[in-house]
């Protein structure tokens, strides 16, 4: 195995170091800052049309743009969610290596790298992304995951989301979050040049799949 193909073990601490962003919750200090915000000071934008247009300026082609509603008064159980995340990611990777083998090949993974997925080993620069944050109705289950390159695509996806959360007035949880969402369990960069022409709305948590 060459240095370029070195595998990184899925150990939780490394993969989920961006935990607050992943599950969609501000840190305690951010929450305190949010409580002091005035609605008059919040940064405004053009709503759905604005974020749809902003997505076309990114490299995140082949994705949907999904509008998710914040669950009122949602309280995280971070310990339980973290443990569930580790378990469900291993289930996801085990299935991925068999059910999405062709997609993984198209994405540029070698046969050895694909086989290593079932052992919980991620190729360098690939990460497991939770499509919908739990504070916005996402579930910590295998169907809510996608395997994608961390740089630049996963970074750019979170930058798009963080622009809605980190405003000129401080950190907030907007009532509606517009989330770029890969259409498959494996995101293949530039497999499609298509950008969404409309926003998909989920009315209930059960619809967010």
Q: What is the pLDDT of residues 17-34, one digit of tens each?
A: 444 455 554 443 344 344
d(CA 112, CA 90): 17
Does residue 131 form part of some domain? yes
Residue 130 forms part of a structural domain: yes
How many structural domains does the chain have? 1
Check residue 139 and give left, alpha or beta (phi > 0: left; psi -120 to 50: alpha): beta
pLDDT in tens, 47-89: 899 999 999 999 999 999 999 999 999 998 999 999 999 999 9
- Give me the pLDDT at residue 10, please: 43
Q: How far apart are CA 6 and CA 17, in angstroms?
A: 20
Domain around 90: 3-31+47-207
Reported as a pLDDT band with limits 50, 70 and 90, residue 206 is very low
pLDDT at 130: 97
Q: Is the residue at 188 inside a domain?
A: yes
Residue 36 lies inside a defined structural domain of this protein: no
What pLDDT band is residue 203 in, cutting at 50, 70 and 90? low
In a domain, 17, yes or no: yes
The torsion defined by the Cα of 54, 59, 61 and 64, in degrees rounded to 10, comes to -50
Which residues, in sequence order, are CB contacts of 99 under 8 Å at separation 6+? Answer: 185
Mean of all residue pLDDT scores within the chain: 81
Is residue 182 domain-resident? yes
């Amino acid at each position: 195995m060459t240095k370029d193909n070195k595998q990184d073990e899925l150990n939780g601490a490394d993969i989920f170091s961006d935990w607050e962003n992943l599950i969609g919750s501000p840190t305690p200090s951010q929450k305190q800052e949010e409580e002091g915000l005035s609605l008059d000071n919040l940064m405004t934008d053009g709503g759905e049309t604005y974020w749809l247009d902003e997505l076309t300026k990114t490299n995140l082609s082949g994705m949907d743009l999904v509008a998710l509603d914040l669950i009122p008064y949602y309280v995280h159980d971070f310990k339980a969610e973290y443990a569930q995340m580790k378990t469900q990611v291993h289930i996801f990777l085990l299935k991925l290596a068999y059910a999405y083998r062709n997609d993984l090949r198209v994405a540029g993974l070698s046969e050895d790298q694909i086989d290593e997925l079932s052992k919980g080993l991620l190729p360098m620069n690939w990460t497991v992304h939770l499509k919908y944050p739990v504070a916005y109705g996402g579930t910590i289950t295998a169907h809510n995951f996608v395997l994608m390159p961390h740089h630049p695509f996963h970074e750019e996806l979170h930058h798009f989301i963080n622009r809605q959360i980190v405003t000129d007035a401080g950190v907030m949880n907007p009532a509606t979050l517009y989330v770029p969402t890969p259409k498959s369990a494996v995101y293949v960069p530039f497999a499609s040049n298509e950008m969404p022409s409309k926003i998909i709305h989920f009315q209930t948590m059960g619809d967010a799949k």
